[in-house]
Amino acid sequence: MIVTINGQALEAQPGQTILQLALEHRISLAHFCYHEDLTVEANCRTCLVEVVTPGDSRLPIGEIVPACTLTAAAGLAVDSQTDQAISLRRDNLDLLLSHYQPHCHDCPRGGSCAVTEAIDQDSLDLTRFASSATDYPQVRLGKAIEYDPNLCIACNLCVKACEAVGVGYLRLAGQGVTNRLTVTDNPAVECVYCGQCTLHCPVAAIREQSDLSAVEAALANPELTVVVQMAPAVRVSIGELFGFPVGKNLERQMYAAFRRLGFAKIFDVNWGADLTTMIEAEELLERLEHGAGLPMFTSCCPAWVRFVEEAHPDFIPNLTTSRSPQIQAGAAYKTWWAETAGLDPQRIVVVSIMPCTAKKHEANQPKLAIDGLKPVDYVLTTREIASLLRKHRIDLARLTPADPDRLGEYSGAAVLFGASGGVVEAAMRTAAFHLTGDAAVTIDWQVLPEQPTIRQATVVLGSRRLRIAVVSTLQSAKQVLTAIRENARTYDYVEFMACPGGCVGGGGQPVPTSRRIIRQRQAGLRSIDTHKTNRLAQHNPAALEFLDYCAKMPAERRRQLLETSYAMTGSLD
Amino acid sequence: MNPDTLLAAMAAAGIVGRGGASFPTDLKWRRLKDLGRPIGAVVCNASEGEPSVHKDAYLLDHYPDRVVGGMVVAMEFLGVREAYFNINRRYFERYGRHLLSITNQITADRGWIFHYFIEEPSYIGGETGALLNAIEGRRTQPRLSPPSPSIQGIRGQPVLLDNVETFYDVDRLVTGDFQPTRLATVTGPVPAPGVYQVPRDSTVNAVLVATNNRPDFTFFAQVGGSASGEVINQEQTTTYELTGCGAIELYRADTPPYQILRRWFDFYAAESCGKCTPCREGAYQLSRSFAAIGPAGPLPWPLIRTIVRTMKRTSFCDLGNSLPVPVESYMKNVLGMEVAA
């Protein structure tokens, strides 16, 4: 059917809303409570259009309707630029943001901002109405996330994102203007720091706890050796904040940018992922050998681990004891590499660039310390590093692509860690190579109907048949855990990621993120693997060297460097 | 009474929704019956969260048997064995014991279940979607429609929701006691404030006269609820019929506009559920501005006009849409100001 928006005749699908149609055709229209993956909220009342020709909608001419609730109807014509629509939209935007204090100077958002866009586009005057801000205290969630109720516009998107991921920790409460973000009063529900809230907040009222100033201070200190490592998912998403197409691999531009920012060494979390793959595959084969601790669960997603510790501690024995890639790599830098390079580990600062907010919490866990030092000192999200690049006026498009240092080299398997399914696939290659001498594995995934967040397969490795599964979102994880509780033999090995689609959909990624965007980022990672000559963890020479170093250590030291333990917490920290 | 006869009798008697919308009850019931889907429950709305309306309390006090009787008629009509009272906490405290003894008897006799959802008194708590959300354990906020809240009522099943007085009327009808009357709540500086049975097409003036409440001072009145009702001047009372939920609040003609307006603005600012921008922020702006200027200050008419227009044109639900009704009618009928169409 044909629908006209602002004089432009457009083909619309049945059931499509006018806002969806407008966004599809890049017709700009303010909106603060709509996200394409979530149900319509219709509470901000800013995407207003005026009915010009009712067509089959049968609405009165001149009616003002939010485009998010107006379904396409044949012959319908609407206009967002009539005098009425403009002035009512401006009223609601000025009201909505009356208590909003622009905080661009310390906003870790990395560029995309609905507020500044609306201020420019709809000529807002945020001082036109009295501010409804009250002196609410800021709230910190672990060492990962913070929110400022004074900035909250009660759009409800973080609450819905938190529910959708399967946590349900956030909620809005309060009548009238006191309707603001708060947390659940159910003591059985805990935040897992996944950061999906920060990814859905249109105004960065809920956001990562920023480590930007600490990192800048470290970079400015000549006595420190500051090394950087970037997670797989970051390279295919950072470009979105600088006008590149979604999924474009910008790792070599980022390596160049890191040098420009003053990092002494450019390493890569992918190098750590090759370590993790080898440790984890070895543990899997051992568990299969002894038939104990099965199914084995991945543990590189800290939000998932926290979810198990808090809500499903009976599954703690199933978690692999392998530390996550950033932590194993960080330990390698501060021990083996420091020795090789003749550096004092106390003067090495490790900075991870992650698509994740939970990694901030992970890096701060005292139990992971090596000789009293944190393996990773600071974690910046994809958005934070974009903010830093902007601040230093570093334009990725103008940089000459560069290469990393030796501990930045990695196999194609490692980069797969950045998307749901990658950890299992990397481990399968390594296990296959170990058992058969051939790393080529075909995995014939079976996707559960209507549920792309759960996949399963049977893999034949020599004489073994492994039942594996890949799960993303904690909502889906609950379902799979229930199935495993009913029948422990359902799977041998399961990968769990808290965020939809894995780390590419992580809570530290650029805004906006949606299922559609996540698929394009996944394709970007897949393509890196396909084009790599080395696609197997065991073929990473520097990683093997470090494992040799560990093998020569006493068992206790080896465990300290590579393995972790879990606690049945049952409550926060 | 067979279903068609019942509906025909309801139509003939002119039974309509007494929550304020006056929608013909037979049409509402028929629509649910014609869905051809199992109906989840019958719901009696005893929220009565609007100030100066007391008719539901009056009925629960004097005619609880009839109210429950009307619900039972609806349950039989729809083949439903479950009902809810959405009841204002103050009312439950006063009339709950008697109501329970009536419904417990029905449960004992027929096995039908009556749930009591005790609502913290609020204006939004009587709005259909918000009420159903509250019963389901969600926030007391209106729902997006479509789907209509009565079609997607409680846990996905359709529900029939009617006001206390509507069920009372249905019971009067099936027991042969129906009279074409309705309840009027008269409040304000009048000699005999209270709830009265009056002929249902009475003018406001007729109600005031019949209840000995016609004052000897000049006045204006708000009809249909002290938050959402229209304001008419003294002259208009002789032709204006009782509407909405049947409330008449009288004001002395010399009541300062500041006092009148501030009461509405404070009410809406406090009672807005906070869901949508124009109602949450708009009502707050008005209330705050009035607190700031004080009784002696000049009234901020441009701000009032801006917010009233935005709330009227863009609010999510009928609570936000309704503030403009008293404000604009007061401006027009009492203050003689121009109001945009």
Q: What is the mean pLDDT of residues B152-174?
A: 97
* Biggest alpha carbon–alpha carbon distance for chain B: 64
> Distance (Å, rounded) from C-alpha A393 to C-alpha A170?
36
Q: Name the pairing type of β-strands A464-472 and A451-461.
A: antiparallel
Using CA atoms, how far residue A155 sits from A42, A299, B87, B277, B318, in Å, is 9, 33, 30, 9, 19
Alpha carbon dihedral A426, A428, A433, A434, in 10-degree steps, equals: 110
The residues near B192 (Cβ < 8 Å, ≥ 6 apart) are B186, B211, B212, B213
B276–chain A Cβ distance below 8 A for any pair: yes
* Chain A residues near residue B269 by CB distance under 8 angstroms: 176-177
pLDDT at residue number A572: 40
A86–chain B Cβ distance below 8 A for any pair: no
Task: List B250's β-bridge partners, or say none.
Answer: B221
> Distance (Å, rounded) from C-alpha B187 to C-alpha B194?
7
> Distance (Å, rounded) from C-alpha A249 to C-alpha A244?
9
- Of all residues in chain B, the one with the smallest CA distance to A180 is B274
> Distance (Å, rounded) from C-alpha A349 to C-alpha A346?
8
* Chain A residues near residue B129 by CB distance under 8 angstroms: none
- A449 burial (CB, 10 Å; 0-12 / 13-18 / 19+) is exposed
- pLDDT mean across residues, chain A: 95
> Distance (Å, rounded) from C-alpha A359 to C-alpha A379?
7
Kindly report the nearest CA distance between residue B286 and chain A, in angstroms: 10
Q: Cβ of A88 and B314 within 8 Å?
A: yes
- Of all residues in chain A, the one with the smallest CA distance to B314 is A45
A59–chain B Cβ distance below 8 A for any pair: no
Going residue by residue through chain A, which has 573 residues, state the pLDDT in tens, using 9 for 90 and above.
Answer: 999 999 999 999 999 999 999 999 999 999 999 999 999 999 999 999 999 999 999 999 999 999 999 999 999 999 999 999 999 999 999 999 998 877 787 788 888 888 988 988 888 988 999 988 788 999 999 999 999 999 999 999 999 999 999 999 999 999 999 999 999 999 999 999 999 999 999 999 999 999 999 999 999 999 999 999 999 999 999 999 999 999 999 999 999 999 999 999 999 999 999 999 999 999 999 999 999 999 999 999 999 999 999 999 999 999 999 999 999 999 999 999 999 999 999 999 999 999 999 999 999 999 999 999 999 999 999 999 999 999 999 999 999 999 999 999 999 999 999 999 999 999 999 999 999 999 999 899 999 777 889 999 999 998 889 999 999 999 999 999 999 999 988 999 999 999 999 999 999 999 999 999 999 999 999 999 999 999 999 999 999 999 999 999 999 999 999 999 998 765 443
Kindly report the nearest CA distance between residue B141 and chain A, in angstroms: 10
B314–chain A Cβ distance below 8 A for any pair: yes
- Of all residues in chain B, the one with the smallest CA distance to A86 is B310
When CB atoms are compared, the residue of A91, A132, A174 closest to B284 is A132
When CB atoms are compared, the residue of A45, A69, A176 closest to B144 is A69
Token readout for A481 is: 């855990």
Q: What is the mean pLDDT of residues B196-216?
A: 97
- What 3-state DSSP class applies to A239? helix
As a whole number of Å, the CA-based R_g of chain B is 20
- The model's pLDDT over B236-284, given as tens digits with 9 standing for 90+, comes to 999 999 999 999 999 999 999 999 999 999 999 999 999 999 999 999 9
Other CB atoms closer than 10 Å to residue A339's CB: what's the count? 11
Token readout for A392 is: 């230093």
* H-only helix segments in A291-368: 302-311, 325-332, 338-341, 358-363
* Chain A residues near residue B273 by CB distance under 8 angstroms: 175-176, 179
pLDDT tier, B233 (very low <50, low <70, confident <90, very high otherwise): very high
B269–chain A Cβ distance below 8 A for any pair: yes
| Among A241, A237, A215, residue whose Cα is nearest residue A226 | A215
A64–chain B Cβ distance below 8 A for any pair: yes
pLDDT at residue number A573: 38
H/E stretch holding B164: helix B164-174
Alpha carbon dihedral A236, A238, A240, A242, in 10-degree steps, equals: -130
Sign of CA dihedral A47, A48, A54, A60: positive
Kindly report the nearest CA distance between residue A80 and chain B, in angstroms: 14
- Of all residues in chain A, the one with the smallest CA distance to B275 is A43
* Chain A residues near residue B283 by CB distance under 8 angstroms: 176
Q: Cβ of B144 and A40 within 8 Å?
A: yes
Task: List B249's β-bridge partners, or say none.
Answer: B187, B222
Task: List B219's β-bridge partners, or say none.
Answer: B252
Task: List B247's β-bridge partners, or say none.
Answer: B185
B277–chain A Cβ distance below 8 A for any pair: yes
Q: Is the peptide bond before A512 cis (omega within 30 degrees of 0)?
A: yes
- Residue written as token pair 């749930």: B115
Task: List B232's β-bridge partners, or say none.
Answer: B221
B280–chain A Cβ distance below 8 A for any pair: yes
| Among B237, B295, B221, B235, residue whose Cα is nearest residue B262 | B295
CA A59 to chain centre: 42
Mutate to test the interface with A, among B280, B304, B305, B321 (most CBs of A within 10 A): B280
What is the strand order of the sheet A265-268 is part of?
A265-268, A225-230, A348-354, A378-381
- What 3-state DSSP class applies to A446? strand
- Residue written as token pair 């879990």: A566
- Of all residues in chain A, the one with the smallest CA distance to B124 is A175
- The model's pLDDT over A327-362, given as tens digits with 9 standing for 90+, comes to 999 999 999 999 999 999 999 999 999 999 999 999
pLDDT at residue number B150: 87
Amino acid (one-letter) located at B39? I
Phi, psi (rounded to 5 degrees) for B214: -70, 115
Q: Say if residues B43 and B161 touch (Cβ distance below 8 Å).
A: yes
Mutate to test the interface with B, among A91, A179, A182 (most CBs of B within 10 A): A91
> Distance (Å, rounded) from C-alpha A227 to C-alpha A234?
17
> Distance (Å, rounded) from C-alpha A81 to C-alpha A28?
11
> Distance (Å, rounded) from C-alpha A509 to C-alpha B124?
38
Mutate to test the interface with B, among A31, A43, A128 (most CBs of B within 10 A): A43
Q: Cβ of B269 and A176 within 8 Å?
A: yes
Q: Cβ of A129 and B315 within 8 Å?
A: no
